[in-house]
Chains A and B, each alone.
Chain A
Amino acid sequence: MELVLALGIGILVASGVWLLLRPRTFQVILGLSMLSYAVNLFIYAMGRLAVDAPPLVGSGPPDPALYDDPLPQALVLTAIVISFAMTALLLVVLLASRGLTGTDHVDGEDGE
């Protein structure tokens, strides 16, 4: 499992960074989405992997070893929502810059 997830994270990061460095705004936005998937998974992985151990405790005194680490999960939960907000914001900036400059190049003028 660990190897697959690490490979997955690596591929997502590579695709994300590649898109991030592209000259078109839409590519950059998709790249950022891709990167945020990767980063979310990465943060989640900081709590190690566990199958069938969601952090839903019973009413008795719980044994932390039986549950997946809830802390990275809480962090990622907020990260997911914030990355949505960031995507929305960048998208609107993209639209505004495209309306203003007439191109969708990141620098507002056609280069590459």
Chain B
Amino acid sequence: MLWLILLLPFLGSLAAAFLSSRARDTAGIIAGMVALVGTLLTAFLYPAAADGTVLRSEIEWLPTLGLNLVVRLDGLSWIFAQLVLAIGFLVVLYARYYMSRDDPVPRFFSFLLAFMGSMLGLVMSGNLVQLAFFWELTSLSSFLLIGYWHQNEAARSAARMALIVTAAGGLCLLIGLLLIGRIVGSYDLEAVLASGDAIRSSELYLPALLLILIGAFTKSAQFPFHFWLPHAMAAPTPVSAYLHSATMVKAGIFILIRLWPVLAGSEAWYYIVTSAGLLTLLIGAWAAIFQQDLKGLLAYSTISHLGIITLLLGIGSPLAAVAAIFHTLNHATFKASLFMAAGIIDHEAGTRDLRRLSGLYRFMPITATLAMVAAAAMAGVPLLNGFLSKEMLLAEAVTDYNDTWLDQALPYLATLGLTFSVLYSLRFIHQTFFGPRPTSLPRTPHEAPRWMRAPIEVLVVACLVVGIFPAVTMGPVLEVAARSVLGPNMPTYSLAIWHGFTRPLFLSIVALAVGAAGYFVFARRLNTASAVPLLGRLKGRRMFETVLSILIGAARRLMKVVATERLQSQLRVLVLVGCLAGLLPFLRAGYGVGELGVTPLDPGFGAVWLVGAACALAGAWQAKYHRLAAVVLVSGTGLVSCISFVWLSAPDLALTQLLVETVTTILLLLSLRWLPKRLPDVWPEAGTPISVRARRAIDLVIAGGAGLGLGLLSYAIMTRSLPDTVSRFFIERSYPEAGGRNVVNVILVDFRAFDTLGEITVLAIVALTVFSLLRRFRPASESVRSPLQQLQQDAFDEERDDRSRGDTLADYLLVPRVIMEWLFPFITVLALYLLIRGHDLPGGGFAAGVTMSIALILQYMAAGTRSIEARLRIKPLNWMGIGLLTAVATGLGALIFGYPFLTSFFRYFDVPLVGKVPVASALLFDLGVFLLVVGTTALILIAIAHQSIRTTGRRQPEARPQPHAGEQG
């Protein structure tokens, strides 16, 4: 159940991502259903959460490192999860009407669901590392959401800023959490929550606290990290309504509450958290007054309300913590509805500029009423939920906890912040909905559609109900959440509207009265403000960008000094470092030849290597002047290494090497045509500059040194006896446990099948990369012409009346062509034979796959690309796909029978006449390898071969054949 709640949004996100970009209703329904089902499922868990039991589900991941995947639901997680899901549902409903038809809406919902899942993962984590992981996921998915309108520069830079700030904070948080884990000795939340004293008395407490606070403050936009939040308003309004009311910014609050029992209570906590909260409250509220953008006002007010919550948490008393949780919920409800109302105004009136808006009440009375109630809740007017948590804040501020100046000043400063809050709430409402008819609106406003208003209605009703009947509605839920944090320290409190004439009430009235009076005195002047007075110079964004550009500049300068873009120099350094690393152990221990006697030399082997060495040296010499010769020489070396494998009891290697050698040579030959003609030497033989000569000499020394080193190293190793390795296990178990006599093959498809699966995946990725690189291939202009030989042949054919183009070529390829075409079935049979016998004798999927692709490429060479593709459709992508799926399905098959992934099964069957036949599931896996290797090799070769057709086709459009499915070019 817990896992279902957590996974549902991610599955929904995946599903929405695959929808066509116009399927906005389908995507909306998916997102809505996910959120609704999640809400209901979580709601069903309420009785358990209310009991005070902690629901846990654990999956072992890295138990040796103390890392398990733990989903954990207690009262606090429950209430946050409910907030994320329920407000998520309302936002989805709202977004369905808000998002324009022209935007790729499914992508929006996909991001939104991913974000929802990350938030759920965060609040339901039972492990600190997991918590940090989901924390980063929220940063990433909010980046995508804020930058959703990526064509807009402001959205891109806002998204990047939010990502850099919150991800940097996330890094600090991770380190902080790791420190906590180190203090406690476990990352499990249960253990951490139980060791508050150990944490507070540890030496590492202060660094851990600071790092975690940086993480929380960046996420929750606390001063001095608050600047990213207003810029994030470039996101679509539903995103702002979601991220900045209920979720993203509350993640920081969540972690503060979650770790409150273990971190709070120290002096450092009190000073840092309280003062940060207080400053944020004042700065945010002050700046909100002077905003001309509706969403900007809400953004700064969000900052100030987050300040209130942080301040409450900083005070450190249990009652303040309860108030913090309460205000978190209240703020989520009224702020989400206000953002949605702002979105409606923007949508219907075409602008969010407060100076241009006026008198909208006439046009949209319902929205106006809803917004007014929500704004009143934000201002803290009695009978609304905002009032209650504000009273609690003031009560906490008034209470003396310690006699510091901060504690003494708290009531006055908090009242000041609340006064600002009243002022901007009034301004928001009065400026938008009252006053004369608007004059300069882009369009005539009217009421929003029924269902777009519905989410706001729900939220506003919640504000009212909680505000009027707090004890009945919110009391039990708040109790559950608070108890899960505070445990036995649960304070007594009463959620009532009327506590008699108390100091908090008096301060509250002062705030309301002064705020209202302030607005009526300064209303006019506020509309002309272009910058925030006093704080105008404190431009967070500019500081951020300066720091960023200094960093980038420094990195660039450093790169200039220590790095080079020249590949040769880089490789030279690389090789040198490699050589030195190889040399170091010998410097310490000295070089010596081992005690093992050498195997007597067979003269044949010596002769073969004489040829091999000659080929290698000649190939190295010729690579510059004569590419064809170099290819042949290098292949010669390959053949020599192949022969060595045969000689030295490695038949599988020899077979594979031989086949791969063939394919590689074809590949190199195919590419030759696209290379430039060899230029005459830049420097005539005698005139080569000294610098060039010196460089060549250095390279020669490096090459010689590397060769000498590896030669000596391998000789030293080969003359020492082999220690006992895992090979013994493989040899002993190969036949009895895997049913294969060919140990090498058994290792590949059975013992280490997971490695092989990874390897064939890499192979498939490489082939796809090659394929997609070649799709955009632009050959150099001088290589586009047909080769000289072909031109001469064509000219000859065209001169004669009885011949047509291409006849000459067809003529003198006649005999090889017939042979090659006839070879096809034989090579296919050989490939299948290699595949089937692979488990017992040299062969196997790799060898068979390469063989099969050779059969295919031979057909291409015999008949020419076009005519072969008219007859034979090879779809390498299908081969690859089916191959990979077969391999994975074989592995998954084992899971069905209750064995680990890729466990193989085998049995020998007696077939009449044929004898004992092994039937192993490993063979099926090998079949997957085979199919994939055929697909990849064919795809690479065909893609390169196709380039010739493409370019000739470009030159003579009339000669272009009908495109058919097999064409990959």
Contacts and interface: CB of A to CB of B under 8 A. Distances in A.
Binding partners A and B: yes
B708 interface: yes
Interface string A1-45: 111111111111111111111111011011101100110111011
A45 B718 contact: yes
Contacts of B699: 18, 21-22
A33 B638 contact: yes
Nearest to A98: B780
A95 B641 contact: no
B852 to A, nearest CB: 14
A87 to B, nearest CB: 6
A26 B627 contact: yes
Contacts of A103: 676
A14 B704 contact: yes
B675 A61 contact: no
B535 to A, nearest CB: 51
Interface residues of A, number: 92
Interface in A23-76: 23-24, 26-27, 29-31, 33-34, 37-38, 40-42, 44-59, 61-62, 64, 67-71, 73-74, 76
Interface in B718-743: 718-719, 721-722, 725-728, 730-732, 734-736, 741-743
Interface stretch (B202-210, B329-337, B399-407, B593-601): B593-601
Contacts of A23: 568
Contacts of A67: 649, 731, 743
A6 B649 contact: no
B600 A85 contact: no
Nearest to B710: A13
Interface in B764-803: 766-767, 769-770, 773-774, 776-781
A86 B766 contact: yes
Contacts of A64: 727-728, 731-732
B944 A112 contact: no
Interface in B692-715: 692, 695, 699-700, 702-704, 706-708, 710-712, 714-715
B87 interface: no
A76 B596 CA distance: 24
Contacts of B660: 80-81, 83-84
B599 A1 contact: yes
Contacts of B651: 54, 56
Most chain A CB neighbours (cut-off 10 Å) among B601, B623, B657? B623
For the complex, would chain A's binding face be called helix, strand, loop or mixed by DSSP majority? helix
A70 B565 CA distance: 42
A62 to B, nearest CB: 5
B442 to A, nearest CB: 47
A73 B658 CA distance: 15
Contacts of A27: 623-624
Interface residues of B, number: 118
A10 B711 contact: yes
A3 B744 contact: no
A79 to B, nearest CB: 9
Contact of B747 (A20, A70, A112): A70
A102 B780 contact: yes
Contacts of A106: 567-568
Contact of A15 (B565, B619, B766, B947): B619
B623 A12 contact: no
B727 A70 contact: yes
Interface in B862-902: none
Contacts of A30: 619-620, 623, 630-631, 634
A54 B743 CA distance: 9
B718 A11 contact: no
B965 interface: no
B37 to A, nearest CB: 45
A2 B748 contact: no
B469 to A, nearest CB: 68
B125 interface: no
A57 B741 contact: yes
Contact of A44 (B572, B650, B712): B650
A84 B638 CA distance: 12
Contacts of B708: 10, 14
B468 interface: no
Contacts of A33: 634, 638, 664
A61 to B, nearest CB: 7
Question: Considering the complex of A and B, which 5 residue pairs feature the smallest CB-CB distances, nearest first?
Answer: A10-B711, A14-B707, A6-B715, A18-B703, A15-B620
7 contacts: A8-B644, A24-B623, A48-B722, A57-B734, A80-B657, A102-B781, A103-B676
Given A71-B726, A78-B748, 4 more contacts: A6-B712, A15-B619, A34-B619, A92-B770
